[in-house]
Amino acid sequence: MVWLFISVFLSSSSLVVFSLTPWRCLNENLLLSPEDLTLSETHFLSLSLSSEDRLRSLSSSSPSSLSSLSSHSIPSQRSHSVTTLDSSSDSSEIIPSELYALSSLYSSLNGNQWLWNTNLSYGQIWNFTSDSPPHPCHENWQRITCYCLSSSLCFIIKLDLSSLNLNGTISPTIQYFSQFVDLNMANNTLLRGHVPPQLGSLSKLIYLSMYMTHLTGTLPNELQNLHSLQYIVFGKVINFNDPVILKRAQNDSISGSYPSFLSSLSNLLFMYLYGTQHSGTIPSSWSTMTQLNAMVLGGTFITGTLPSTIFQNLTNLRYFVVGTGTMTGTIPSTVGSLIHCKVFSINSNHFTSTVPSSVSSLQYLEYFYIYQNSLNGTIPIAVSQMKSLKYLSLGENRFTGSIPDQIVDLSTLVFAGFDRNLLVSTIPREIGRLTSLQLLDLSLNQLQGILPLSMNSLSSLQILNLTGNYFIHQCG
């Protein structure tokens, strides 16, 4: 029976099967950790609004009320378009202080080395050397968005300098962009120096992104004055469809304790500090940030326990990530309060105890990453009640007992990792119902019995790892 099962699976050239040693008909050198598998190229940032969507939101608002951005997404760094709003005259121009700040920024970041788009449909290349005075708004300079109050008075409200080869430090004159709502300097690895405290003067700033840079030092306390801020993004980009990225992210150089002053930013929706060199515990004051949609930390030296009030109060969280640290303690039962959560990751820490049954309330959860901890007890049936689950990673813990039969009810499951636990008994008989499953890792447990024939129905399966178990099989 089992030999027939193997033959059927091997007829698909796209399936890689890892089995226990007695199945000598398989190539034992094929062993590949599921952690090395990227099932999708979709990155975390692709869950966001496009810059065009964001510009449409900005264009419908005045400088004093530009607060209509999405409540659970961050803008893409890919846009290079320029939009000049309400400009109707050739004489439209920004105020002198902003022109001075723009010129200083260009100089301090070696603008002559920037990687401009040569397609003029993206706008004109910045030019401060012309004989005539520069007109960034009227001349439609690349990476600039303006808001014009009249035909002769304009303000710069957005600078998208991402992926532009910025090289140098940020000029303190950046404080003169009085109507700024959007500043993006992400993905510039030659951008160095400190985050200037003068950023705290940009009282209308909504979006601040400086991830993938070489900035150093701490986040200045002056940022607590950014009461309009909704998005703050530092660190490294991660891919939630590839679990190993969650523990391999290289750190940038922003350091210090996690800043408690962020709790004073009452409009903050998105806090992304993954892959920085922040250390210490999650400030208890963060539990008051009830509007927060995303808290993405880790990839660094995060310690302490999870305050139960984090889950009890932050019921709007869509993304909760504290991966790769030395956090201890238990998963609070209040995790069930995260009824809107899509991503929950506490991987690569030192959490203990059991998975609370309250996780059954997470009906919108798609990613449940709790691997590489010291969690124990049985896998609760509640896990199989998270009906939207796509990625389930429970490996490298101390789970005992059997895999719940109800796990087959997770019809959207793509990735299932149960490896390196103490699981016993057999594979659920109806596992073939998981027709969306692409990776199944059961390796290094104490599973046994005959492999279910229903596994022939796993039509999407690409990786199957069964090594280190005691399955019964028949040859011949």
Q: What is the pLDDT of residues 313-345, one digit of tens each?
A: 999 999 999 988 899 999 999 999 999 999 999
Q: What is 181-213 written as a DSSP string? A: -EEE--SBTTB-SBPPGGGGG-TT--EEE--SB
Cα separation, 245 vs 233, in Å, equals: 18
The CA distances from residue 72 to 185, 248, 319, 428, in Å, are 21, 26, 9, 37
Q: Based on the structure, what is the number of domains in the chain?
A: 1
Angle among Cα 129, 132, 136 to the nearest 5 degrees reads: 75
- Taking residue 475's Cβ as centre, other Cβ atoms within 10 Å add up to 10
From its phi and psi, is residue 192 left (phi > 0), alpha (psi between -120 and 50) or beta? beta
Q: Is 304 a member of any domain?
A: no
Q: Which pLDDT value is given to residue 301?
A: 86
Indicate the Cα dihedral angle 212, 214, 220, 225, nearest 10°. Answer: -40
Cα separation, 179 vs 20, in Å, equals: 64
Q: Is 135 a member of any domain?
A: yes
Q: Which pLDDT value is given to residue 15?
A: 67
Which CATH number covers residue 442? 3.80.10.10
- Taking residue 459's Cβ as centre, other Cβ atoms within 10 Å add up to 11
Cα separation, 413 vs 436, in Å, equals: 6
Mean pLDDT throughout 177-201?
Answer: 97
Q: Is 77 a member of any domain?
A: yes
Could you tell me the two tokens for 283? 């400030």
* Placement of tokens 């400086």 in the chain: 210
Using pLDDT thresholds of 50, 70 and 90, give the confidence band for residue 463. very high
Q: Which pLDDT value is given to residue 252?
A: 63
Q: Is 419 a member of any domain?
A: yes
Mean pLDDT throughout 286-298?
Answer: 95
Q: Is 201 a member of any domain?
A: yes
Class of residue 476 by CB neighbours under 10 A (exposed 0-12, middle 13-18, buried 19+): exposed
Q: Which pLDDT value is given to residue 11?
A: 35
- For residues 175 and 299, the model is more confident at 175
From its phi and psi, is residue 333 left (phi > 0), alpha (psi between -120 and 50) or beta? alpha
Class of residue 409 by CB neighbours under 10 A (exposed 0-12, middle 13-18, buried 19+): middle
Cα separation, 247 vs 176, in Å, equals: 39
Lowest mean pLDDT among 81-85, 88-92, 93-97, 209-213: 81-85
Q: Which pLDDT value is given to residue 410?
A: 98
Q: Is 192 a member of any domain?
A: yes
Q: Which pLDDT value is given to residue 76?
A: 39
Q: Is 352 a member of any domain?
A: no
Q: What is the pTM of this model?
A: 0.82
In percent, the amount of the chain with pLDDT more than 70 equals: 77
Q: What is the pLDDT of residues 380-430, one digit of tens each?
A: 999 999 999 999 999 999 999 999 999 999 999 999 999 999 999 999 999
Q: What is the pLDDT of residues 30-78, one digit of tens each?
A: 222 223 222 222 333 333 333 333 333 333 333 333 222 223 333 333 3
Q: Which pLDDT value is given to residue 296?
A: 95
Residues 6+ positions from 197 with CB-CB distance below 8 Å? 220, 221, 222
Mean pLDDT throughout 260-269?
Answer: 97
Using pLDDT thresholds of 50, 70 and 90, give the confidence band for residue 241. low
Q: Which pLDDT value is given to residue 41?
A: 25
Residues in the chain: 476
Cα separation, 75 vs 55, in Å, equals: 10
To which H or E segment does residue 102 belong? Answer: helix 96-108
Mean pLDDT throughout 116-141?
Answer: 93
Q: What is 290-301 written as a DSSP string? A: TT--EEEEESSE
Q: Is 241 a member of any domain?
A: no
Cα separation, 190 vs 169, in Å, equals: 9
Residues 6+ positions from 442 with CB-CB distance below 8 Å? 418, 419, 423, 427, 465, 466, 469
State which residues form the domain around 375: 5-235+261-272+366-472
Cα separation, 166 vs 112, in Å, equals: 10
